Amino acid sequence: MWSWVAHRVTGVLIFFFLFVHVLDTALVRVSPEDYDKVVATYKTPIVALLEYGLVAAILFHALNGLRVIAVDFWSKGPRYQKQMFWTVMGVWIVLMLGAIYPVLGHAYRVLFGS
């Protein structure tokens, strides 16, 4: 049940991110100066945390989507869906731990120095 809800919520969050991304990228044609100001705000530590959340949403949505495909198209999928869910969560946690430094490293250096 909760994986179904999380899959829908992450899908909506990713959609809104893509919408905002298209809008801010289109800003470069309208006003390059404003585009530069927007991009400058993306280099703040708060936005780095939001990027980490985006990575979390994308990874969960992708991994859970593969689980949903396996449940739908593998004859034994419904029988093993709970085990596949916990496998997805384990892989997701490992990947999120691996994403800490690449995504949050710049924010750490900004806040605490090199």
List the binding residues for heme: 61
Cβ distance 70 to 77 under 8 Å?
yes
Q: Which residues are annotated as a binding site?
A: 61
Query: What is the distance between the alpha carbons of residues 45 and 109, in angstroms, rounded to a whole number?
Result: 9
Which two structure tokens, joined as six digits, stand for 53? Answer: 């959340």
